[in-house]
Amino acid sequence: IAYVLKNEGAVALETMEEFMSASQYTVQNCNLYALIALHNGNEDVYNQMKTLLETSGYEISDTVKQYKKGKLEIIDILTDEEGEF
């Protein structure tokens, strides 16, 4: 998140990739990874996370969907007090 806020999106995506390979694929982690991927123009990772969530009985969060539609800004999502993606 800090890398995105510092406008270092590529580093954020690389860091998230490393994090995901070393941690559990929780719903929130998948949504955050999808969000950071979208922020970096990586539709492939977004689609992978979307498919993973759907095959597990979940879906991409409304927040990530709204970001994808251009209705939310990344800064607003990442600095939201609730911290939900």
Whole-Å CA distances, 11 to 3, 4, 42 = 6, 8, 13
Pick out the chain residues at pLDDT < 50.
Answer: none
pTM of the complete model: 0.85
8 A C-beta contact, residue 49 and residue 31: yes
Under a CB-based contact definition with an 8 Å cutoff, are residues 4 and 33 in contact?
no
Ramachandran category for residue 72: left, alpha or beta (phi over 0 → left; psi -120 to 50 → alpha):
beta
Q: What is the pLDDT of residue 34?
A: 96
What is the reported pLDDT for 82?
Answer: 67
